[in-house]
Structure 1
Amino acid sequence: MWKEHYDVLIVGAGVAGSALAHALSTLSATRARPLKIALLERSLAEPDRIVGELLQPGGVNALKELGMEDCLEGIDAVPVKGYCVVRAGGDETVHIPYPAGHEGRSFHHGRFIQNLRAKARAAPRVTVLEATVNELIECDLTHRVLGVEATPKETGVKESFFADLVVVADGCFSKFRTQVLSGSATPKPATRSHFLGAVLTDAPLPLAQHGTVCLVKDSGPVLLYQIGTHDTRMLVDLKEPLPADPKAHVLAHIVPQLPPSLHVPVEKALEADRLRRMPNSFLPGAEQGTSHQKEGAVLLGDAWNMRHPLTGGGMTVAFNDVVMLSRLLVSLDDLHDWSRVSRALHTWHWRRKRLAATVNILSVALYDLFGAEDEHLEVLRTGCFKYFELGGDCVAGPVGLLSAITPSPFLLFRHFFAVAFYSIWVMFTHPRPVPVPGQLKPVMAKPGIDEYPALLLKSVRVFWTACVVFGPLMWIELF
């Protein structure tokens, strides 16, 4: 059956979809004909996910620009003032505070989403409908996307919904991603690893109101951050193949490397509940509005662009994308005019680069260092930790990038290779464990001059490894 025609139809009432519905309604309120928006979501029940629970300061600022900062209230959200990086065993820590006057927020994902949806529902001319979107409706002749076929939960009967523009924001497992973009632009997510998640009760973190990154041996990093008065999220990064018994693996190999104060809370959490699993994917944001894209449809959020969640930058990128895209779309008189929409998408693609590229490159590059798999990456990981210990700009610069307060791909380039060169310096000048025959524990000793030729050769390999990690990411994200 034919339903009412909308200006914009948004598939997915998650972070990006709900924010865009509210933004388009608010910004178009002063137009002669404000936009009419439909927001479709398969289930409006509170979602239960193990990621999307930390919003960086840059994301908080974007939320304020959207007039949605009150969505952080009433959900027991916790202020986040920075990070604490911990070496295996908890003996060495480094404090990485956010820039003065800035703070992030952490919370239960589902509670935050429900507030975003409520905000969208309250916006004028926004219709929120619980319905399963089955397929995109295309014109037989031009293949332009005209709307969607969806089954509302209330009726259980498949219906057609039409709009000048369809925005697909159905998340990381998007069923329409490859239908909207085709050919060489077809997005292909790459799974970097998996997060195993649990909620700890009353767990004492090394620094209150700080996200904690634990660097463990022979594994990816472990993240911990408070998401409520009594709840702390733990995420354990593991690469494939995953162990047959994840709980046993975490208890035997991960927990002993965490700070001692966390051992009992982790053991209790694993005893009380299962470990939840989530793939960590990387998906560069291909330019939209090109010949490889179906006219009449736009991808947004994780349906289009993903980065490793190690740095908690996903929602920050999404909210900033919504800020820019909503302004560009509202400036158009006719959203059915694809030539004008495509030009707006081109502008959006390049305008978002400064922040999105910084967050995306940093997330994957930092993950490669923190989840070191070989001896050269291990040198870089050690050097990164020592670089943070220097303090001053060696902390202020990287945390400005991490928090999305001062996004700059070229500043990121400078700090990344400063870490690379400093890692080489550390390798030559700092004590490292040296096995001693007859002793169980190694002793700490600086390299001797006789070791310099081998270390010089290793330095070249370390620098090459840094180039291999950073170079392709820089190229993919910026060009």
Structure 2
Amino acid sequence: MVQKHYDVVIVGAGIAGATLAYALSTITSKTRPAPLSIALLERSLAEPDRIVGELLQPSGVASLQAIGMEQCLEGIDAIPVQGYCVAKSGELVHIPYPDAREGRSFHHGKFVQSLRAKARQGPGVETIEATVTDLVECEHTGRVIGVRARPANQASRDGGEEGTAEEKGKGDEEKDAYFADLVVIADGCFSNFRTSVMRAARKSSTRSHFVGVVLNDAHLPMPHHGTVCLVKGHGPVLLYQIGEHDTRMLVDIKAPLPSNLKAHILHEIVPSLPSSLHVPIHEALERDRLRRMPNSFLPSVEQGHSSSKEGVILIGDAWNMRHPLTGGGMTVALNDVVILSRMLGGTLDYKNWDRMSDMLHQWHWARKPLSATVNILSVALYDLFGADEEALAVLQRGCFKYFECGGDCVRGPVSLLSGIAPSPSLLAYHFFSVAFYAIWVMFTHPRPVGASSLEKPVLVAPSVLEYPGLFLKSFQVFWTACIVFGPLLWTEIRWW
């Protein structure tokens, strides 16, 4: 049994864990001249295979640059992303990133492996392949002082999976122990330690699933742009290039999932997508199996003092999740790492939990503008883009027409989405501007009537006789906007 002591133990070598390990390894100062000793534990160091975490917004790229890891985007066949286009009923609207900013899209596994390789180069970082099974707590104070982990070769040491109960029990006793002044949990959306770290119950909510497949040599409507397709009666479809020949397609499907997902996509979704994508989609569905991932939402709760256990911090999806529609998850995680690593660099004693709690309070406030903006926007946009009732459909159409206005009607929203302008107040301004503009569009613009999703819609302008009914409907639309945005804002600001 191995027993070692470090300054910091990080559980999980994904996006947040690997970047935090490297960022902390580079911290030096007059009061801390030697690098921190850091143990980075990961269940499997093989290349992960996931269908999300493949789009990094411009603000996320800037965070990588801030901690000296921007080269991790090189050599992995990453594709520059210059913005978005939104497709609806055969129409396209262009939403470029402002000031020629760029994001990156890539295979998630290749990016994670690049981050891990960089983390290994950090002075004082030891990467260990082991499955963390328990938090080690001081028997007197209850403070977390380390973790227990089963090494990757534990199965052979224990006699393999078919070993006797006695052999397996002996193997449990031989788990390695890694002690530290601070333990950081970054084990992702399916965290095994979230509920044990936070004193109040923490449970994510799931409203839908992304079903994903990779298309070969597909031609997107706008190269180097993420494509958001709005499908009437269904959730949005996302497409973005993740390699020279690979394009990811994610189809949002609400619960309960259809028994035959491929048939559902072929008959209900594909006819509403741009025709240039039909052949690659059919080929991909015939060739590959569909992958699915829950779209979860988990607001962040302030850590420290009495709200969480002493000696341990949650970070990344283990602590805070948002709908992946806007591709903001990695951007939030990397921004969290930038701020947290700087604050930890100025903290000398990780054992002093009162001071650590004050630091965590400051971190919570410092990260809030970006995290709250991305979190609220992700769910609010999902409600609009996946409109399943009449008032939301009005807001969806208004949002599309708002983007068509160009200028600040595009620059403002995409700056919020990309993390360039982290401001909940600016988000509220644009969200309710969309709501009022949607009401204006309802009164003044011809609307599609009497056509199926496969036919070109017939546009009919509203008559004056309809105005009294539309006037009443406008209150319903505005109220719907309020009940979409208000609760999301409350989940973020109530912890400030």
- TM-score category, normalised to shorter length: over 0.9
SS in 1 for 2:98: coil
Matched with 1:162 is 179
User: In structure 2, what is the Cα distance between the partners aligned to 1:443 and 1:209?
Assistant: 32
AA of the residue aligned to 1:102: R
User: Conserved in 2, the CA contact under 8 Å of 1:83 and 1:212?
Assistant: yes
Local SS of the residue matching 1:28 = coil
Query: Take 1:313 and 1:287, find their aligned partners in 2: how far apart are those partners?
Result: 20
CA RMSD of aligned residues (A): 1.3
CA offset at residue 28 of structure 1? 3.2
Q: Which amino acid aligns with 1:28?
A: T
Correspondence for 1:191 among 200, 206, 210? 206
Q: Deviations over 1:26-54 (max 9, x none)?
A: 01376234211000000000000000000
Is 1:393 the counterpart of 2:411? The answer is no
Separation of aligned partners in 1, 2:375 and 2:55: 16
Alignment of 1:135 with 2:152, yes or no, is no
Whether 1:97 aligns to 2:114 is no
- 2:88 corresponds to: 87
How far is the alpha carbon of 1:140 from its aligned partner? 2.2
State the distance in 1 between where 2:239 and 2:306 align.
Answer: 43
Residue 120 of structure 1 deviates from its aligned partner by 0.5
Out of 482, 486, 495, the position equivalent to 1:467 is 482
Deviation at 1:2, TM superposition (A): 5.6
TM (norm. structure 1) is: 0.97
Q: Distance in 2 between matches of 1:350 and 1:75?
A: 34
**Distance change in 2, residues 1:94/1:176 (3 Å):** same
1:142 CA drift (Å): 1.9
Which residue identity is paired with 1:143? G
* Paired position in structure 1 for 2:163: none
- 3-state SS, counterpart of residue 372 of structure 1: coil
Match of 1:264, SS? helix
Pairing partner for 1:174 from 158, 170, 191: 191
Alignment-mate amino acid for residue 170 of structure 1: D
**Quick one: which amino acid aligns to residue 9 of structure 2?**
L
1:442 Cα deviation from its structure 2 partner? 6.3
Letter in 1 for 2:357: S
Cα displacement (A) at 1:126: 0.3
Counterpart-to-counterpart distance in 1, 2:449 and 2:208: 32
1:205 maps to: 220
CA-to-aligned-CA distance 1:232-276 (integer Å, 9 cap, x gap):
000000110000010110001000010000000000000000110
Cα distance in 2 for partners of 1:160, 1:454 equals 69
* Structure 1 counterpart of 2:313: 298
Q: Is this contact kept in 1: 2:239–2:247, CA < 8 A?
A: yes
Where in structure 2 are the equivalents of 1:29-428 lying within 5 Å? Answer: 31-88=32-89, 91-155=90-154, 156=157, 157-183=174-200, 186-428=201-443
Q: Is the 8 A contact 2:82 2:100 kept in 1?
A: no
Contact 1:148 1:162 in 2 (8 A): yes
* Structure 1 residue 292: Cα displacement: 2.2
CA–CA distance in structure 1, aligned partners of residues 41 and 9 of structure 2: 8
Aligned to 1:7: 7
Answer yes or no: is the 8 Å Cα contact 2:38–2:124 preserved in 1.
yes
> By how many angstroms is 1:287 displaced?
0.4
Distance 1:441 1:107 in 2: 35
Shift in Å at residue 113 of structure 1? 0.2
Of stretches 366-375 and 26-35 in structure 1, the one that deviates more from structure 2 is 26-35
Deviations 1:152-192 (A, max 9, x none): 11355411110011000000000000000022xx3220112
Partner of 2:167: none
- Deviations for 1:445-473, whole angstroms, at most 9, x for unmatched residues? 11111111111111100000000000011
Gaps of 5+ in 1: none
Report the equivalent of 1:476: 491
Deviation at 1:433, TM superposition (A): 2.5
User: What is the CA–CA distance in structure 1 between the aligned matches of 2:437 and 2:286, rounded to whole Å?
Assistant: 42
In structure 2, list runs of 5 or more residues that go unmatched: 158-173
Letter in 2 for 1:18: A
**Aligned-partner Cα distance in 2 for 1:121–1:317:** 23
Equivalent position amino acid for 1:119 in 2:
K
Moved more, 171-180 or 155-164: 155-164
How much has 1:101 moved relative to structure 2? 3.0
Distance 1:434 1:471 in 2: 32
Q: TM-score, normalised by structure 2?
A: 0.93
Q: Is the 8 A contact 2:4 2:177 kept in 1?
A: no
State how far apart, in whole Å, the 2-side matches of 1:433 and 1:64 are. 47
Deviation at 1:441, TM superposition (A): 7.7
SS in 1 for 2:393: helix
Identity of aligned residues (%): 68
Question: How far apart in 1 are the matches of 2:111 and 2:449?
Answer: 49
